[in-house]
Amino acid sequence: MATRTSSRNRRKAAPAVGDRDPDLLRRIHRFMVLTRAVEDRMVAMYKGGDLLGSLYTGHWHEAISVGAASALRPDDYLAPIHRDLGAHLWRGMEPWQVMASFMGKATSPTGGRDGTLHYGRLDLNIYNLPSHIPANFPVATGMAFAAKYRGEDRVCLAFCGDGSTSRADFHEALTLASVQKLPNVFFVENNQYAYSTPLRLTSASESFAAKAAAYGMPGVKVDGTDALAVHDATAEAVARARAGEGPSLIEGVTMRMHGHAEHDPADYVLKELYEEYAKKDPVELFENVLLEAGVLDDAAAKQVREDARQYAIAARRKALADPMPDPADIEDGVYAD
């Protein structure tokens, strides 16, 4: 559920679960479960030495990545970050391709030119994520500007973390998008730590959503473990952008339940925070919502989890068998033709 709305954007009351499209609800659940299964498998792969470098995951970000992506059309643009595997999967990227990226395989989206998470699929309208977040925000404003310039009603949804909001490119992107009334939706994934720096040392604002007022756009803060709250807030912002009314800012509050990456033990995180959010697993919470509403039953939920587990196992098997890049092709793709 939404925890608070800004004074600039009084949101409509959310429809009851029983009044929503059950196929959409089941699809959101399926991709949240799949996201968790794939990332759990990749954690095992990292610990088993299958991956070339470290691994960045989005445990407890599933409601944000899937819930937000589910509010877009396939032809809308997406500029995700390293916590948003669910958004990639929702768009159609295969789990084995993500695993192949972390293994530097020739079948990865970068053809093995990168061994970590800098993957995207322009054919799926997914921009390759950069290391320095929110460097994807200025690109997102460019994609939105291009859509507006061409007279298209496409929207660009871009994600960043809470620490990213302290950077200049966050300010520049939101300023430009607001002045130009671009069809952007900016989503701040507030997981309470900018790597090892706690929230109290990165922002003195009451919330990140409150910063929207400075840019003249609506801002809304939602529970980032609540898939429906995320979906509803994003859908409202997307509708506003598509109607030509300009950008919006959404803050989703969750907790990063693994380290910044798997090499990071995150022993700087307060034990109380882990204990609090251990009770707020977004995948379990959403599954319980659907069970209580009769959209799922226990047998169906169990089957979804088993299908996801087997899918992740098969993805690992394929990624392991895929070839490494041919050294003879090393200069391919360096320059545009």
Domains of the chain: total: 1
Angle at 160 between CA 155 and CA 164, to 5 degrees: 135
Task: Give a yes or no: residue 161 inside a domain.
Answer: yes
- What residues make up the domain containing 196? 21-323
CA–CA separation, 30 vs 24, rounded Å? 10
Q: pLDDT at position 115, please?
A: 79
Q: pLDDT at position 53, please?
A: 87
Q: pLDDT at position 5, please?
A: 43
Task: Give a yes or no: residue 7 inside a domain.
Answer: no
Task: Give a yes or no: residue 15 inside a domain.
Answer: no
Q: pLDDT at position 12, please?
A: 65
Phi, psi of 174 (to 5 degrees): -70, -35
Task: Give a yes or no: residue 8 inside a domain.
Answer: no
Task: Give a yes or no: residue 5 inside a domain.
Answer: no
Query: Is the dihedral angle over the CA atoms 269, 275, 276, 277 positive or is it negative?
Result: positive
CATH of the domain at 105: 3.40.50.970
Q: pLDDT at position 7, please?
A: 36
- The single-letter DSSP state of residue 121 is B
Query: Is the dihedral angle over the CA atoms 64, 152, 128, 318 positive or is it negative?
Result: positive
Q: pLDDT at position 330, please?
A: 83
Task: Give a yes or no: residue 333 inside a domain.
Answer: no
Task: Give a yes or no: residue 242 inside a domain.
Answer: yes
Over its length of 337 residues, how does the chain's per-residue pLDDT go in tens digits? 444 444 344 456 788 998 999 999 999 999 999 999 999 999 999 999 999 889 999 999 999 999 999 999 999 999 999 999 999 999 999 999 999 999 999 999 989 988 788 888 999 999 988 888 999 999 999 999 999 999 999 999 999 999 999 999 999 999 999 999 999 999 999 999 999 999 999 999 999 999 999 999 999 999 999 999 999 999 999 999 999 999 999 999 999 999 999 999 999 999 999 999 999 999 999 999 999 999 999 999 999 999 999 999 999 999 999 999 999 988 887 777 6
CA–CA separation, 249 vs 211, rounded Å? 9
Query: Is the dihedral angle over the CA atoms 79, 85, 89, 93 positive or is it negative?
Result: positive
- Supply the pTM of this predicted model: 0.94
* H-only helix segments in the chain: 22-47, 62-69, 85-91, 95-102, 136-149, 168-179, 212-215, 227-242, 271-278, 282-293, 298-321
Give the 3-state secondary structure of residue 292: helix
Task: Give a yes or no: residue 11 inside a domain.
Answer: no
